Amino acid sequence: HKHLLGLSDYSREDILYILEQAQYFREILDRPVPKVPTLRDKTIVNLFYENSTRTRLSFELAQKRMGADVVNFSTGSSSVKKGESLKDTIRNISSMKIDMVVVRHESPGVPHFLTRCVDAAIINAGDGAHEHPTQALLDLFSMQRIYPELEEKHIAIIGDITHSRVVRSNILGLRKLGAKVTVCGPKTMMPAFVEELGAEVSYDIEETLGWCDIAMALRIQLERQDEGTELFPSIREYHQLFGITMEHLRKYPDVTIMHPGPVNRGVEMESRVADSDRSIILSQVTNGVAVRMAILYLLSGGTRV
Ligand code: CP
């Protein structure tokens, strides 16, 4: 592959290959000097039109750990504020001789669009409510560290499904690896596409937690709700109906808790759940650096490490 636009384009073998390479880079992260100069001759632009903490910083860290030249673009301090179009922006950046672009944008399809504007490799770091493939790959990698074989494992994804790009990429990846996926949340946040992608739907948190090996909570995306419409259920009702509690952890002692972040503490889960030893939320973030190193390495033309 030249680009990583979404997991819909990647096969089971492609995904397993990335996860295998990520294991090599994950071991490097535990070394006293966690660096490998494999991208020394590459120049990478991180093009973030939308806010990010984890994805942006972990891409930048991954690039620096591999010795790439890195430039960071964020709209607030750029000529986008003067009205410059996306196409002009990317063509100007491309004229500075770059090899790869990591892009996050609020509109679905922007990474695909960029492939037609420039010759560089494009990596989707989240496009609207469409896909977030590097998040799903780091989630799969984190799950594999608990269950090396994900075939037939039961994975629940709980939360605001309608506005989530993480859910689509995760269902695609998990189904390709043979895992069973149940998506759980309020009817008002449940789009039809999840069943088309091969996931089951549940509206019952107890049934879901009783079934699953891993429960991944997703953020209630207040900023993507339609303006003027009242959130239904309300935040308080959502927490009562779908929030993961310490009582749940006692009742379902084998369930591991994940969340891509940022967590709305007290909404998707009780604060103590996020900080408990059953949560691997911060390990997901550490693993994200290794997974992004593997993706950068492979898309830059690297072969098996
Ligand atoms: N998980 C995730 O994409 O977080 P950021 O929005 O902070 O990058």
CB distance 276 to ligand 1 below 6 Å = no
Q: Report if residue 290 sits inside a domain.
A: yes
Best mutation site among 47, 50, 51, 54 for ligand 1 pocket (most ligand atoms within 8 Å of CB) = 54
Residue 188 has what pLDDT? 92
- pLDDT over 80 (residue 223): no
Same domain for 190 and 231, yes or no, is yes
Residue 233 has what pLDDT? 85
Residue 106 has what pLDDT? 96
Q: Which of 3-7, 174-178, 288-292, 300-304 has the lowest mean pLDDT?
A: 300-304
Looking at residue 234, which CATH number applies to its domain? Answer: 3.40.50.1370
CB distance 52 to ligand 1 below 6 Å = yes
More confident residue, 194 or 233: 194
Q: Which residues are annotated as a binding site for L-aspartate?
A: 82, 165, 219
| 201 CA to centre of ligand 1 in angstroms | 25
Q: Which of 279, 192, 259, 194 is nearest to 54 (CA)?
A: 259
Q: Report if residue 182 sits inside a domain.
A: yes
Same domain for 16 and 80, yes or no, is yes
Mean pLDDT of the region 243-264: 98
| 78 CA to centre of ligand 1 in angstroms | 21
Q: Which of 146-150, 160-164, 227-231 has the lowest mean pLDDT?
A: 227-231
Same domain for 173 and 99, yes or no, is no
Contacting residues for 241 by C-beta, under 8 A, at least 6 apart: 186, 205, 233
Between CA 211 and CA 181 the distance in angstroms is 10
Q: Report if residue 250 sits inside a domain.
A: yes
Q: Which residues are annotated as a binding site for carbamoyl phosphate?
A: 54-55, 104, 132, 135, 261-262
Confidence of residue 232 (pLDDT cuts 50, 70, 90): confident
- pLDDT over 70 (residue 251): yes
Residue pair 150/143 in contact (Cβ under 8 Å)? The answer is: yes
Same domain for 116 and 227, yes or no, is no
Reported as a single tens digit per residue, the pLDDT across 19-45 is 999 999 999 999 999 999 999 999 999
Same domain for 122 and 13, yes or no, is yes
Residue 230 has what pLDDT? 67
Residue pair 278/255 in contact (Cβ under 8 Å)? The answer is: yes
Q: Which of 80-84, 99-103, 246-250 has the lowest mean pLDDT?
A: 80-84
ipTM of the complex: 0.98
- Structurally, how many domains does the chain consist of? 2
Percent of the chain with pLDDT over 90: 92
| 162 CA to centre of ligand 1 in angstroms | 17
Mean pLDDT of the region 106-120: 96
Q: Report if residue 1 sits inside a domain.
A: no
On average, the pLDDT of the chain sits at: 95
Residue 228 has what pLDDT? 58
Q: Report if residue 118 sits inside a domain.
A: yes
Same domain for 87 and 227, yes or no, is no
Same domain for 148 and 271, yes or no, is yes
Percent of the chain with pLDDT over 70: 96
Contacting residues for 236 by C-beta, under 8 A, at least 6 apart: none
Residue 304 has what pLDDT? 56
Same domain for 110 and 167, yes or no, is no
Residue nearest to ligand 1 atom 4, measured at CA = 54
Residue nearest to ligand 1 atom 3, measured at CA = 55
Same domain for 152 and 214, yes or no, is yes
Q: Which of 5, 47, 53, 147 is nearest to 139 (CA)?
A: 147
Q: Which residues are annotated as a binding site?
A: 54-55, 82, 104, 132, 135, 165, 219, 261-262
Residue 47 belongs to what domain range? 7-131+285-299
